[in-house]
């Protein structure tokens, strides 16, 4: 009989949760899934702000429909600026940092280039967690040395200190149990080397039962793929076309 109790409840420590990481680590997917997870835990006042001005695809602004359908406030450029790769900082974003009410999740652009937007707002960024997404299957973070180097670049660029790691090792639809476990082992080594805690690890929803049999000391966040690139048409593409007209 399995007596393990899987940790799946995300404990809010700060009202602002800033998600950063290297390009292609899956930050936006993590940010969107985290917002939905917190909402389903019973939190009511939740906002997510898209600060990704680096990658034209896989940004949290692409998930307006599923987020707003759950009652989550989505702060993104609208209308003609929806797909713009411009450093547009909405007044509402500064307000989200300075506000003392509710939970705000910030999806920041990849690499040190994307993090520079935070340094321009350092006087507004106060009560926060700064969480780095780590995918050990991506270039530049496939080794311990590379991950530490990326961490240092992100901190220098943002002028903020990373407070926790998010494990997000995956190969999209080809993610297996072994891949997730390899990512967890990699993250444990990164934790040992830096002393920075593992905040949580993402796991495809269909693998949660298997992972929970062998991992019970790390918070596991079940995720499903929400963001889709334009070369993968489907129902989500139709929703996106309607969003452009907002």
The CATH number given to 16-244 is 3.40.50.300
Q: What is the pLDDT of residues 195-232, one digit of tens each?
A: 999 999 999 999 999 999 999 999 999 999 887 655 45
Q: What is the pLDDT of residues 112-161, one digit of tens each?
A: 888 988 888 877 888 899 999 999 999 999 999 999 999 999 999 999 99
Sheet holding 16-21, edge to edge: 73-75, 46-51, 103-108, 16-21, 128-134, 164-167, 197-204, 220-223
Average pLDDT over residues 60-66: 73
Neighbouring CB atoms inside 10 A of 56's CB total: 13
The pLDDT assigned to 106 comes to 93
Domain ranges for the chain, please list them.
Answer: 16-244
CA distance 143 to 127: 31
Beta strand residue intervals within the chain, DSSP E: 16-21, 46-51, 73-75, 103-108, 128-134, 164-167, 197-204, 220-223
Average pLDDT over residues 42-48: 93
The pLDDT assigned to 51 comes to 83
| % of the chain exceeding 70 in pLDDT | 80
Average pLDDT over residues 23-36: 92
CB contact at 8 A, 77 and 90: yes
Q: Would you state the torsion angle of the CA atoms of residues 184, 213, 173, 230, taken in this order, to the nearest 10 degrees?
A: -70
């Amino acid at each position: 009989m399995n007596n393990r109790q899987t940790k799946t409840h995300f404990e809010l420590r700060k009202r602002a949760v800033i998600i950063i990481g290297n390009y292609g680590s899956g930050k936006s997917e993590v940010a969107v899934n985290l917002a939905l997870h917190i909402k389903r835990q019973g939190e009511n006042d939740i906002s997510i702000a898209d600060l990704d001005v680096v990658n034209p695809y896989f940004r949290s602004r692409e998930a307006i429909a599923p987020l707003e359908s759950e009652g989550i406030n989505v702060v993104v450029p609208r209308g003609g600026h929806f797909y713009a790769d411009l450093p547009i900082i909405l007044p509402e974003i500064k307000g989200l940092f300075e506000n003392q009410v509710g939970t705000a999740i910030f999806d920041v652009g990849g690499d040190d280039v994307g993090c520079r937007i935070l340094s321009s707002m350092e006087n507004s960024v106060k009560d926060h967690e700064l969480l780095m997404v780590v995918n050990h299957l991506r270039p530049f973070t496939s080794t311990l040395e590379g991950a530490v180097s990326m961490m240092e670049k992100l901190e220098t660029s943002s002028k903020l200190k990373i407070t926790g790691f998010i494990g997000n090792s995956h190969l999209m639809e080809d993610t297996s149990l072994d891949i997730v476990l390899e990512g967890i082992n990699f993250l444990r080594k990164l934790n040992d080397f830096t002393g920075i805690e593992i905040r949580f690890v993402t796991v495809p929803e269909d693998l949660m039962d298997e992972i929970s049999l062998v991992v019970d000391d790390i918070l596991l966040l079940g995720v499903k793929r929400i963001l889709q690139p334009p070369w993968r048409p489907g129902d989500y593409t139709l929703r996106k076309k309607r969003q452009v007209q907002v």
